[in-house]
């Protein structure tokens, strides 16, 4: 790669290096808006799963659950509560920091919280699916569901973005 095409250290720090003409504050505002959109989607799914879990305890067949299923149920309720808390944390932080000109830092921390929340929601979704299949069918079907769900989450949330990053990197190399 010749010196003309190699990004300089200063270009790495330039907010316009990616083709966007925005100031650091405009970038923080845009990133904050994108995070809020992600949180809205996450909160909806989490609310549905949480509502389902809370309703399960009041169903007549709840007492038919064995000890492992009840233990899993309690873990899932805790995960649902944690997912809700994490999804609301950036909003609470925004309220606490509103007007303090800390949006770039807020976006950085909120982005980390959203990533953690995605992990919790993945565990919650896999767990709920496993519990339902285990209860409705049997333990073996529940374990197969657990493994299949973990594979799907890993493929869609980890492998696919990695493949896209790799493909985009290869396209960038081909363009040089």
**115-155: pLDDT as tens digits:** 999 999 999 999 999 999 999 999 999 999 999 999 999 99
Q: What is the largest CA-CA distance in the chain?
A: 72
Please determine, for residue 159, whether its predicted confidence score (pLDDT) is greater than 70: yes
Closest CA to 114 of 48, 53, 165, 40: 40
Q: How far apart are CA 134 and CA 138, in angstroms?
A: 5
pTM equals 0.76
Contact 80, 46 (CB under 8 A): yes
When pLDDT is cut at 50, 70 and 90, the band that residue 171 belongs to is low
pLDDT for 134 equals 96
Alpha helices in the chain (DSSP H): 9-13, 24-56, 67-97, 103-136, 139-153, 160-175
Rg of the chain over all Cα atoms, to the nearest angstrom = 22
pLDDT single digits (tens) 75-109: 999 999 999 999 988 888 888 777 777 788 888 88
């Amino acid at each position: 790669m010749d010196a003309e095409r190699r990004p300089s250290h200063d270009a790495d720090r330039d907010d316009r290096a990616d083709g966007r003409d925005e100031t650091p504050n405009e970038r923080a505002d845009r990133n904050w808006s994108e995070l809020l959109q992600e949180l809205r989607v996450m909160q909806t799914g989490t609310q549905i799963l949480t509502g389902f879990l809370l309703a399960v305890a009041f169903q007549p067949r709840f007492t038919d659950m064995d000890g492992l299923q009840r233990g899993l149920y309690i873990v899932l309720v805790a995960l649902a509560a944690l997912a809700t808390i994490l999804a609301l944390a950036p909003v609470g932080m925004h309220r606490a920091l509103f007007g303090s000109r800390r949006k770039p830092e807020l976006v950085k921390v909120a982005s980390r919280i959203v990533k953690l929340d995605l992990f919790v929601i993945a565990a919650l979704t896999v767990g709920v699916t496993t519990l339902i299949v285990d209860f409705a069918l049997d333990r073996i079907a529940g374990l197969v569901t657990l493994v299949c769900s973990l594979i799907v989450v890993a493929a869609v949330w980890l492998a696919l973005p990695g493949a896209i990053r790799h493909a985009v990197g290869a396209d960038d190399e081909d363009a040089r």
